[in-house]
């Protein structure tokens, strides 16, 4: 299986899957030393892999915990980065309530020791940039609905 990340026409094109995992009024995010922002657990979709299987795989690789039920809530066409490193990403966003086995305190991502998972209270979103910023709008998507968002940062 090969990650779907390819240089195309002067930019990097990728397909990503991310998980919006909540526990009460908090969202699980990833952060890394030196980065002034947070991002969501997940990763690149592999060739011959569907997005739901990718979400389950990425979740387990990062947390070591079996995921709970996942529900597709949005697709974001994301255009971002400086002119010399422009990126075009198609992101599939799944919502999940936190499994009980998931720690309530920060922990190191199982497959990347440079990344930490931590809970960010929803009321602190304005002070904590979580990219893509529009992903937070997917937290309140009703059951049975999927949103499509075009985002240019």
Return d(Cα 26, Cα 22) in angstroms, integer. Answer: 5
What is the pLDDT at residue 1? 86
pLDDT for 34 equals 83
Task: Write the secondary structure of 99-116 as one string of H (helix), E (strand) and C (coil).
Answer: CCCCCCCCEEECCEEEEE
Residue 39: closest CA among 19, 23, 59: 19
**For the whole prediction, is pTM greater than 0.75?**
yes
Whether 64 has a pLDDT exceeding 90, the answer reads: yes
CATH number at residue 99: 3.90.79.10
Q: What is the CA radius of gyration of the chain?
A: 15
Q: What is the pLDDT of residues 93-119, one digit of tens each?
A: 999 999 999 999 999 999 999 999 999
Residue 139: both structure tokens together: 């937290």
pLDDT grade for 125, boundaries at 50, 70 and 90: confident
Count the domains in the chain.
1
> Which range marks the domain in which residue 24 is found?
5-152
């Amino acid at each position: 299986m090969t990650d779907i990340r390819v240089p195309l026409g002067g930019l990097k094109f990728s397909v990503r899957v991310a998980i919006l995992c909540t526990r009460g009024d908090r969202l699980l995010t990833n952060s890394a030393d030196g980065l002034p922002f947070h991002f969501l657990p997940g990763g690149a979709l592999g060739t011959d892999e569907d997005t739901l299987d990718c979400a389950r795989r990425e979740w387990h690789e990062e947390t070591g915990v079996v995921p709970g039920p996942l529900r597709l809530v949005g697709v974001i066409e994301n255009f971002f980065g400086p002119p010399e490193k422009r990126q075009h990403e198609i992101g599939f966003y799944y919502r999940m309530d936190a499994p009980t086995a998931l720690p309530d305190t920060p922990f190191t991502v199982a497959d990347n020791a440079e990344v930490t998972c931590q809970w960010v209270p929803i009321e602190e979103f304005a002070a904590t940039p979580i990219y893509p910023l529009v992903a937070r709008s997917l937290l309140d998507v009703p059951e049975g609905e999927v949103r499509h968002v075009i985002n240019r940062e």
